[in-house]
Amino acid sequence: MLPRFLGLFFWMAIAAIAGFWYADLIGALSGALLVTLFTNLIDLWRAQKISKWLRHNLVLEPPVLGGLWGDLIDRLRRLLSDQKKQTASHQQRLQDFLLAIQASPNGVVLLDPEGRIEWCNQTAAQHLGFDTKRDLMQHIIHLVRDPVFNKYFAQESHDNEVVIEGRSESLMKSVKLSVQLHAYAETRKLLLTRDVTALAQADAMRRDFVANVSHEIRTPLTVLSGFIETLQSLSLQPEERANYLGLMAVQAGRMQGLVSDLLILSQLEGSPLPQLTEQVELSALMTTIEIEARGLSDTHIGAFDTPQVLEFNLLPAIHLIGARNEIYSAVSNLVNNAVRYTPAGGKVTCTWSEQADNRLYFSVSDTGPGIGSEHLPRLTERFYRVDRSRSRESGGTGLGLAITKHVMQRHGGELKIESELGKGSKFTLIFPSARYLR
């Protein structure tokens, strides 16, 4: 700044001396005035170039000026560059924030003071059936036509969430959504949606489980209570008393089996996954299971009926890796089920085999009545029965396949079920290569 004033003063002094030389005092003043005017015109021209550069949003190259104006342009350029970097950084942060919201498993909808959609992520669009572009600035009530939501939206307080029906791609699948409104920025609202279908199903399964357990225990308890009352109130012959006691023992055994299976399920769900350190000798395991199966077959088939054919095909020198009691439960459940549901004269075939995919297969085939295809997806549900009366006659608890499936999942394997009405059934356990060795 100082050199500029010194330069201006120098040229004004030169002009004044020259003017004084030609026209005395008036010439001196005129010379100084001309220098000032000329300097102002140059500054005005330079200011015009800077103004043009700024008016065009910095698209043009900055003018090349020296002196004070050059310093001013450099300072402006640095300030504007810093501002541009800050703006870009803020925009990037906003973009990252929006991307994070887009990736959220929960739906997010931003509403203006009138309740119109300003922005929503893709999850919310899927939950509520929105189009993220077409439905912008549409009122939320016009799009979510649910009486529960309409009543909730009209409330002054939104401290609690409500559960409504969500949009589903399939008519066979019901979707439950938890929605809640939150106020922000004084007059705007934030709508959050969460898919609680799995929680609702788990709650329904819990209620069904309690109801099923109560029902399964109540039935034998009712029978036992009746027999006990009969024994207490009537004078019975020894043969009748022995018959009643035998029936009571059967019902007590049913309850004991049910409680045992429930305890097994509880242990499976609450214990850590099986390690790769314990080895189970396959031949010894199958020897125990075969003895039990043949004993069950003898009691299941009447003395005058054609006996069942039980065939066991083993692989030599195979060791399974995992929890012995769990593997025993899975394998014995399949074998015992086949024996129970195969009629007299039928055949049950149990086969171990190694396949080309390096996995170990255990299959149980029977010549029983078979199972309809509509029942197959639900067979591993707890207490699910195709025919309740037949299941009670066979003595099953309705938990065997649920236990088997759980065991296989814990061992990294799978349970495969094939069946056709009138043609028997085939249940297969598939163990991964890491779960067995020779």
pLDDT of residue 153: 92
Q: Is pLDDT larger for residue 337 or for residue 64? A: 337
Q: What is the mean pLDDT of residues 118-143?
A: 91
Q: What is the CATH number of domain 200-271?
A: 1.10.287.130
Which residues, listed in sequence order, are joined to residue 189 by a DSSP beta bridge?
111, 183
pLDDT of residue 311: 94
CATH T-level fold of 273-437: Heat Shock Protein 90 (3.30.565)
pLDDT of residue 60: 56
pLDDT of residue 107: 92
Phi and psi at residue 170, to the nearest 5°: -125, 140
pLDDT of residue 383: 78
Which regions of 241-382 does DSSP assign to beta strands (E)? 279-281, 309-313, 319-321, 347-354, 360-366
Q: Give per-residue pLDDT as tens, 245-292.
A: 888 888 888 888 888 888 888 888 778 888 878 899 999 999 999 999
Indicate the pTM of the whole model. Answer: 0.58
Q: Give per-residue pLDDT as tens, 167-205.
A: 877 666 788 999 999 998 888 999 999 999 888 888 887
Nearest C-alpha neighbor of 158 from the set 126, 186, 134, 180:
180
In the chain, residues under CATH classification 3.30.565.10 are 273-437
Q: Is 219 helix (H, G, I), strand (E, B) or coil?
A: helix
Q: Give per-residue pLDDT as tens, 77-108.
A: 777 778 888 888 888 888 888 888 888 889 99
Q: Token pair of 174, please?
A: 């019901």
pLDDT of residue 23: 60
Which CATH number is 105-195's, of 3.40.50.2300, 2.130.10.10, 3.30.450.20, 3.40.225.10?
3.30.450.20
Q: What is the mean pLDDT of residues 56-65?
A: 60
Q: What is the mean pLDDT of residues 215-241?
A: 84
User: What's the mean pLDDT when you consider all of the chain?
Assistant: 83
pLDDT tops 80 at residue 116: yes
Q: Which residues have a Cβ under 8 Å from the Cβ of 405 and sit 6 or more positions away?
A: 380, 415
Q: Give per-residue pLDDT as tens, 13-43.
A: 666 666 656 666 666 666 667 767 776 676 6
Q: Give per-residue pLDDT as tens, 328-381.
A: 999 999 999 999 889 989 999 999 999 888 899 999 999 989 998 888 888 888
Indicate the pLDDT class of residue 387, thresholds 50, 70 and 90: low
In the chain, residues under CATH classification 1.10.287.130 are 200-271
pLDDT of residue 133: 87
In the chain, residues under CATH classification 3.30.450.20 are 105-195
pLDDT tops 80 at residue 385: no
pLDDT of residue 168: 75
Is residue 352 within 8 A of residue 313, CB to CB? The reply is: yes
